[in-house]
Structure 1
Amino acid sequence: MTDGEQLTIDDEIIARARIHAREVVAGTNLTLDLSALEWDVSARAKRRAGLCRWRADCEEATIVLARRAYERYEWPEFAGVVRHELVHAWEYQQFGESGHGPRFRERAADLNAPRHCRSFSEPRYVLRCLGSDCEWAAKRHQASKPVRAPDGYRCGVCGGEYEVEHVESGRTWSSASGYGGVKAALGDEW
């Protein structure tokens, strides 16, 4: 770093993650080649606190951490995300593949790494079953097909119809035309 350069939050995230990774590898029997591990930060991620990408051609893993998660979690929770992604990197280096199966769960338990992370952002949409005895709901951050055209889909539990709520406005719809109407009515507030 030259005079006048300042560290960014992304630099801080990567530095802390690298230090934590060295501590994890030194304090466990995790056979992970940290020199073949790259780090990056996503400013756009809204759902995933982290991910691990694998480039099989050069046998290199890249752990991408979400800036928003770092800003919203306390360090112990974010460190859990780092450990979770380290397990994925280990699996890629050792086996050329990774998932959340038994091998992952066993190694994650050894490292006290969570299997899933707590949501760190509010969803833009919520899908809710219209069945009187069903409490099924699903959160969405993007206008996927089930959000845009809910009449073509059914509840994940009882198979009944559901409606979609635009969380910020509270407006709901249960058809493709309803989606279009709400979107048009909200205009710039969409």
Structure 2
Amino acid sequence: MDAHDRTRNRAAVEGNSPVAPQDEDALLARASSYASTVDIAVDLDAVSWEISDRAKRRAGVCLYDGDGSVTIRLTWDAYQSYGWTEFTDVIRHELVHAWEFQQYGESDHGERFRRKADEVGASRHCRTFAEPRVRLRCTDDDCGWTADRHRASTVVTDPADRRCGTCGARYLVEHVETGERWETKNEYENARERIGDEW
């Protein structure tokens, strides 16, 4: 092994390899390796790493099982959207959650989280990496409130009795890809049938 190969291997271990992970296993290995370079008091032996292929809103999540061990689940689609350099922020963010869980038995995005995130250079929120499936829109033309959704929750499938998050007026739901709109459960069911496989 020549000096160039040794430098490249050291960079890969430190999370600074010029080659971006190309598959899920490589991403998990690189994330775990990178975590060891972050200056935060997390027991990494008690951290397991997983990939999510389903998440649409969260780039990562830290799950606590109550005994000090945590699972950090990283979203493959977010990694593909962000690239390695930006994705390291997600890893640092989740490590702050792991630190809070291991130190305090709970974690949120409050003041303690913010202070520790600032220390390790992690943001409190990540940018959206997936287009929403539907968008909620206020029916009051003067309001302008919208909210994006990725799943067909009750606020999407049965919006009739729900209200705008800003002004309290009714809202409608719009399927982003097709432009289909509905304001009631019955209208949703009809729209869903028309949308078909494009849902």
TM-score above 0.5: yes
Provide the C-alpha distance between the structure 1 equivalents of 2:31 and 2:106, rounded to a whole number of angstroms: 22
Tell me, in whole angstroms, the C-alpha distance in 2 between the residues paired with 1:22 and 1:113: 15
Offset, 1:159: 0.3
Tell me how far 1:150 sits from its aligned partner: 1.2
Write the distance in 1 (CA, Å) between the matches of 2:123 and 2:77: 18
Q: Is the 8 A contact 1:146 1:152 kept in 2?
A: no
Alignment of 1:146-185 (within 5 A): 146-185=155-194
CA distance in 2, matches of 1:125, 1:132: 19
Identity of aligned residues (%): 50
SS in 2 for 1:151: coil
Report what 2:64 is aligned to.
Answer: 54
1:20 aligned residue = 34
| Counterpart residue number, 2:102 | 93
Where does residue 74 of structure 1 map in the other structure? 83
Code of the aligned partner of 1:14: L
Shift in Å, 1:188: 3.0
Aligned residues: 179
- Tell me the CA shift for residue 189 of structure 1: 2.9
Q: Deviation per CA, 1:142-170, whole angstroms, max 9, x where unpaired?
A: 11111111111000000001111011111
Shift of 1:69: 0.7
CA distance in 2 between counterparts of 1:22 and 1:186 reads 47
Q: Deviations over 1:47-77 (max 9, x none)?
A: 1100001111x32111000011111102221
Task: Tell me the amino acid that sits aligned with residue 158 of structure 1.
Answer: C
TM-score by length of 2: 0.86
- Out of 40, 43, 49, which is 2:50 matched to? 40
Q: Secondary structure at the residue paired with 2:36?
A: helix
TM-score normalised per structure 1: 0.90
Secondary structure of the structure 1 residue equivalent to 2:148 = strand
Structure 2 unaligned segments of length 5 or more: list them.
1-20
Instruction: Give the partner amino acid of 1:50.
Output: G
Distance in 1, Cα, partners of 2:36 & 2:157:
45
Counterpart amino acid of residue 73 in structure 1: Y
Residues 24-44 of structure 1, C-alpha deviations (whole Å, 9 max, x = no match):
1xxx3x211111111111111
Partner of 1:3: none
Matched, 1:129 2:143: no
Q: Distance in 1 between matches of 2:25 and 2:151?
A: 29
Consecutive unaligned residues in structure 1, runs of 5 or more: 1-6
Q: Deviations over 1:94-129 (max 9, x none)?
A: 111111111001000111101011111111000000
